[in-house]
Amino acid sequence: MYSYSDFDRDFVRTRVAQFADQVQRRIDGALTEDEFRPLRLMNGLYLQLHAYMLRIAIPYGTINPRQMRQLALIADTWDKGYGHFTTRQNIQFNWPKLPDVPAILAALAEVEMHAIQTSGNTIRNVTADHFAGAAADEIEDPRPVAELLRQWSTDHPEFQFLPRKFKFAVTGSPHDRAVTHAHDVGLRMVRNAAGEPGYEVSVGGGLGRTPMIGAVVRAFLPKADLLPYVEAVLSVYNTLGRRDNKYKARIKITLHETGKIELTRLIEARFAELRPLFGGADQALLAEIEAAFAPPPFRDAPTDGFDAFYKADPVFRSWADTNLAAHRNPQYAIVTISLKAHGATPGDATSAQMRLIADLAESYGHSEIRISHEQNVILPHVHRADLPALHAALATLGLATANIGLISDIIACPGMDYCALATARSIPVAQEIALRFQELKLEHEIGPLKIKISGCINACGHHHVGHIGILGLDRAGVENYQITLGGDGTETTVIGERAGPGFAYDEIVPAIERLIAAYLGLRSSADETFLATYRRLGLAPFKAALYPAEGARDAA
């Protein structure tokens, strides 16, 4: 993976020193909260419901064992022994104390990590396909481009005070695992007629209060044009974005108000001005970065051990069937380590689990670790012969749950258990759904299903693109949960449809259970997924299952 240059190292250390001074001045009273707040937010420090929260970037979800161990050390030294991996490939610590934050940032800087631009109206952590560099269907590893974007956007003077936050997602595969069309800029690698790789660029996607799917403004952008092109996008947005109204300030509203044709024209015009200014230094830098992402030396060894174990051990088989994905080297597999043990908090890992993952990545995974936006951990390169030993080791600390892509593999934002913006809780709803379907022993029978839960309209839990989305709201002082159905976050992005009135906290799990029972009765065969069944039949039969009393009233 990419290692910091001297420039990066000095920049991050200087920033830590600056922030340490700012914290001291706040504590001494030289800075008021109004003065300090933007400074702390620039360094990822929020004040939440019960405590401060520090959000640390894991650029494009890539992290090495040494960094993972340092996160464990931070969790043990300055927090409560765990961390929370988020839908933006960040990690959040929920309990830091203000005077300790400079020391935490210094500890991060030691391992080439930081919390810069994880908040504020800037370009946030660039997210990427969590199978990057390993997926069988990949055209090219998207991470070099993501790293180029990170370097370009970090402290970029023109883009430090954007109208609103700005999020990039990149994928190098035609199959979109990075939800690119729900980002301010989504980059999806494609090939042109001549077979050359380039990017499809979509602009103005986003979830939140006004969910919108990004508009493709360039169907094929040559790789070499990427930086001037995205700089043109940012430049147009910086000019047109609605600074007068926070709720209309995202580029999705700029797209909506300006129109795709005019916005595309403006971007292309600005691109024509900027392109000649890029003399090739960016491409030289990209070539250096690409070298840092060379694949590991894959081992050539028999996989018989895997095959025999797979036949013999049903627990291992179940895990292998759900948690492995196709690697481009057929002797290898991509392993998803579930952070969704039934009843656990989605995305949380204890310090002991972090250390185990670091050790196992070194023993079996060429020292590579990824964090997915679905709040799981990925070992992208594991030789199949090592999978039985890996599985046994994962099981020692509750990391061998076989549920990837199933009903208990739920995305949940922190919700009102932590977040100051939340309008209802998310975590206990996720916990209870997972426990309920474990109790019913229906999880594998139900098959692929994505439930995504947000505790407020800002949609950090991506509920709009869940096959079943749950949105927690405050209705007259009571937690209330709205269900959306049919959402899809892949290359066939769809915003889910609202099913009807919301459910009270103690009604939401039974409502999901009715929904699933209806699906099991409606599907054409065990191979027809929830989403496929929904697409075939539409909302009506699911609505009838969610609101049986209303059906009875209509019939009466």
Provide the binding-site residues for another protein, judged by CB under 8 A.
26-27, 29, 32-33, 47-52, 80, 94-99, 345, 416-418, 425, 427-428, 431, 474, 477-479
- Pick the closer one to another protein by CB: 54 or 531: 54
Give one DSSP letter per residue of 325-364, joined into a string.
EEBSSTTEEEEEEPS--TTSPTTEEEHHHHHHHHHHHHHH
- Pick the closer one to another protein by CB: 153 or 408: 408
Distance of closest approach, residue 353 Cβ to another protein, in angstroms? 15
- Pick the closer one to another protein by CB: 99 or 302: 99
Distance of closest approach, residue 428 Cβ to another protein, in angstroms? 5
Distance of closest approach, residue 77 Cβ to another protein, in angstroms? 16
State whether residue 20 is helix, strand or coil.
Answer: helix
CA-closest candidate to residue 408, choices 379, 440, 430, 378: 430
Strand partners, 185: 168, 203
Distance of closest approach, residue 472 Cβ to another protein, in angstroms? 11
CA 269 to chain centre: 32
Dist. CA 401–CA 435, nearest whole Å: 13
CA 98 to chain centre: 27
Distance of closest approach, residue 35 Cβ to another protein, in angstroms? 10
Distance of closest approach, residue 52 Cβ to another protein, in angstroms? 4
Contact predicate 398/352, CB 8 Å? no
Location of structure tokens 């709040």: 375
Distance of closest approach, residue 365 Cβ to another protein, in angstroms? 29
CA-closest candidate to residue 247, choices 236, 239, 256: 256
Distance of closest approach, residue 477 Cβ to another protein, in angstroms? 5
- Pick the closer one to another protein by CB: 80 or 243: 80
Contact predicate 493/213, CB 8 Å? yes
Dist. CA 278–CA 43, nearest whole Å: 30
- Pick the closer one to another protein by CB: 77 or 492: 77
CA-closest candidate to residue 56, choices 4, 15, 93, 9: 93
- Pick the closer one to another protein by CB: 94 or 258: 94
- Pick the closer one to another protein by CB: 204 or 414: 414
Distance of closest approach, residue 358 Cβ to another protein, in angstroms? 23
- Pick the closer one to another protein by CB: 221 or 429: 429
- Pick the closer one to another protein by CB: 50 or 311: 50
Rounded alpha-carbon distances, angstroms, from residue 241 to 84, 236, 244, 256, 271:
32, 8, 9, 11, 18
CB under 8 Å to 361, separation ≥6 — which residues?
64, 65, 68, 367, 368, 369, 379
CA-closest candidate to residue 549, choices 516, 503, 484: 503
Distance of closest approach, residue 85 Cβ to another protein, in angstroms? 15
- Pick the closer one to another protein by CB: 47 or 544: 47
The DSSP symbol for 495 reads P
Q: What are the phi and psi torsion angles at 258 (to 5°)? A: -90, -30
Burial of residue 326, with CB atoms counted within 10 A of its CB: 0-12 exposed, 13-18 middle, 19 or more buried = middle
Burial 134-143 (b: 16+ CB within 10 A, else e): bbeebbbbbb
